[in-house]
Amino acid sequence: MRRMGDGVEAALHCALVLAALPKGKVLSGRDLAVLHGISESYLLKHLRALTAAKVTEAVPGPRGGYRLTRPAEEVSMLDVVEAIDGSGPAFVCREIRQKGDVTTNARCAYDKDCFIKRRMLGAERVWRDALRAQTLKDLLDDGAVEIGAQNLEAVEEFIAERQR
């Protein structure tokens, strides 16, 4: 499977922060970039992808920003991953088994999909099902336990100060 894009990590972290916002509030892309210590232009590209996939919505104007389009328990990790990396298969079979100098003219071996392709796509289905079963709410619950009181308080303070 190809390596997941770096934007997936940024998108998951931002979606998690947006999931913690009070209803009706937004955070700017700039504030999300500052919070995570990443380039605003880099992050905005991924926030646009989340918005195109209807995971987030962009509220225009000077008091605008981003927020989730639905509750955290309705946004799966797969929703975020596919918004950034696309929904197509990670493994692409190029049928190299038919291209080498050692192949024969016997086509019967190639009547079925490649057995490697079948196994790879089967494994990818399991992976996608696992991501589909985990939501931003699950991540919020993990964070409440694992982030630590000081860090959690600092993030909550940041959100409270910057939300619009």
Please report the domains of the chain, with CATH numbers, ordered by start residue.
6-162 (1.10.10.10)
Cα 43 to Cα 29: distance, rounded to the nearest angstrom: 7
Cα 60 to Cα 114: distance, rounded to the nearest angstrom: 49
Strands (E) in the chain, as ranges, are 56-59, 65-68
pLDDT score at 161: 96
Residue 142 has phi, psi (to 5 degrees) of -60, -45
Q: Using alpha carbons, select from 147, 24, 133 the residue that is nearest to residue 81.
A: 133
pLDDT score at 47: 98
pLDDT score at 76: 98
pLDDT score at 100: 73
- Ranges in the chain, pLDDT < 70: 1-2, 102-110
Q: Using alpha carbons, select from 26, 27, 78, 83 the residue that is nearest to residue 54.
A: 83
Please count the other Cβ atoms lying within 10 Å of the Cβ belonging to residue 9: 14
Residue 8 has phi, psi (to 5 degrees) of -60, -45
Residue 98 amino acid letter: Q
Residue with tokens 């700017």: 28
* 143 in Cβ contact with 156 (< 8 Å): no
